Amino acid sequence: MTSPQPPTSADELRGAGLRVTAARVALLETVRAGDHLGVEAIAAGVRDRVGHISLQAVYEALHALTDVGLVRRIEPPGSPARFEGRVGDNHHHLVCRSCGVVVDVDCAVGHAPCLTAADNRGFAVDEAEVIYWGLCPDCSPARSF
């Protein structure tokens, strides 16, 4: 008895109600293989996989994939939009003030008052976005002990 195979990118696109194209499959796989990629890097990755694709087509596909929840868009203040394949969980990001690298960090557990609005003003809140800013290990001044 074999265990069921995980869904392919094409299966996920179909399941989300999107038309399956080689470019969309390549885009989804590029985002998932990357690390908080910008649009130019995603376009280059798609071109490596399927050949020519316009930047406009990349933007349109990213918009469609974001709308159906297969890709997540993040845009730290002062930075261009970046995209990630880690979706469906509540995680946050660390951003380096110097080089701009972005890394995932799991949500704080326990008492985390910053994740609950003191007054939701009638909003049905379904997500909180937290960005931690600082210097990554490569940009931090060397510590001498």
Closest by Cα among 80, 88, 93 to 43: 80
Domain final residue pick, 74, 106, 123: 74
Residues 41 and 95 in one domain: no
**122, 126, 131, 132: CA torsion to nearest 10:** 100
Residues 65 and 99 in one domain: no
Residues 55 and 94 in one domain: no
Query: Residues forming the annotated binding site for Zn(2+)?
Result: 96, 99, 136, 139
Query: Residues forming the annotated binding site?
Result: 96, 99, 136, 139
Domain final residue pick, 48, 74, 100: 74
The tokens describing 41, both together, are 């890097």
Q: 111 lies in which domain range?
A: 89-134
pLDDT given at position 139: 94
**For 84-136, what is each residue's pLDDT tens digit?**
999 988 788 999 999 999 999 987 665 554 667 778 889 988 777 888 999 99
Domain final residue pick, 47, 74, 101: 74
3-state secondary structure of 33: helix
CA distance 10 to 139: 39
Residues 16 and 67 in one domain: yes
pTM of the full structure: 0.82
Residue 145 has pLDDT above 50, yes or no: no
